[in-house]
């Protein structure tokens, strides 16, 4: 039986003058269509094929490395995120940028406590102020997006503490800086910008980082 999904939401996102396409779909919640991971895998594959077709790119799968991070086909870069039953795929037709995208809903009391402990330092919490339901989710999502964009260059797992918020979210942008060196190009003090906007009842964040020439050529 084919898993039913609603019509995909199509949109574009821009970062530093570069444009990528995103497609989003809500997968079925009926248990008869498989568990959450199976439903997400089907949604992910469908969205990727649709975006590859839109850009007239080869219909190639995204593989995974030893840490389960995505390995994109040559000539394609992108990112995938899931929140509840919503799946979002971003695709960029090129090798020069690594992208990260994340979708998170507003944080409740329990989520705020967890994010405050695991993903934010005391200085960041003080900077955010009172509206933690929105801002905790935004900053957590932004750090997830940065991780996805940075991982292909860094090549190993790193923590939320690598990125430190510099100012409160405003004008659909968040400004961060690196707290320590991650790679030759991602060094302590480097400014990082993450964009955001409301999307499908949640918050969508995304960023892009230049791909190192040696990595870009080999991918």
User: In 3D, which of 80, 77, 93 has the Cα closest to residue 23?
Assistant: 80
User: In 3D, which of 6, 125, 144 has the Cα closest to residue 81?
Assistant: 144
Whether the CB-CB separation of 81 and 102 falls below 8 Å is answered with yes
User: In 3D, which of 132, 134, 126 has the Cα closest to residue 167?
Assistant: 126
3-state helix, strand, coil in the chain (%, to 5): 30, 35, 35
- What pLDDT does 15 receive? 85
CA atoms within 13 A of residue 29's CA, in its CB half-sphere: 5
Q: pLDDT in tens for each of the 219 residues of the chain?
A: 233 334 456 788 888 788 899 999 887 554 555 688 888 889 999 999 999 999 999 999 999 999 889 999 999 999 999 998 899 999 999 999 999 999 999 888 888 899 999 999 999 999 997 778 889 999 999 999 999 999 999 999 999 999 999 999 999 999 999 999 999 999 999 999 999 999 988 999 999 999 865 554 444
User: In 3D, which of 144, 63, 60, 39 has the Cα closest to residue 102?
Assistant: 144
pTM: 0.89
Rounded distance between C-alpha atoms, residue 168 and residue 139, angstroms: 9
- What pLDDT does 213 receive? 59
Rounded distance between C-alpha atoms, residue 34 and residue 54, angstroms: 28
DSSP 45-78: HHHHHHHHHHTT------EE-TTS-EEPPTT-EE
């Amino acid at each position: 039986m084919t898993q039913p999904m609603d019509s995909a939401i199509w949109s574009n996102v821009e970062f530093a003058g570069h444009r990528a396409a995103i497609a989003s779909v809500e997968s079925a919640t009926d248990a008869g269509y498989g568990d959450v991971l199976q439903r997400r895998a089907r949604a992910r594959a469908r969205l990727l094929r649709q975006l590859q077709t839109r850009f007239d790119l080869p219909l190639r799968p995204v593989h995974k490395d030893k840490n389960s991070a995505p390995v994109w086909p040559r000539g394609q870069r992108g990112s995938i995120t899931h929140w509840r039953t919503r799946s979002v795929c971003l695709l960029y037709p090129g090798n020069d940028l690594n992208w990260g995208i994340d979708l998170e809903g507003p944080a409740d009391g329990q989520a705020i406590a967890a994010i405050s402990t695991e993903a934010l330092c005391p200085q960041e919490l003080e900077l955010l102020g009172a509206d933690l339901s929105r801002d905790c989710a935004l900053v957590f999502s932004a750090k997830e997006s940065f991780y996805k964009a940075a991982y292909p260059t860094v090549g190993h797992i790193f923590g939320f503490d690598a990125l430190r918020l510099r100012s409160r979210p405003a004008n659909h942008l968040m400004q961060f800086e690196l707290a320590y060196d991650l790679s030759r190009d991602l060094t302590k003090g480097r400014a990082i910008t993450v964009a955001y906007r409301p999307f499908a009842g949640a918050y969508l964040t995304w960023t892009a980082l230049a791909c190192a020439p040696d990595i870009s050529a080999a991918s």
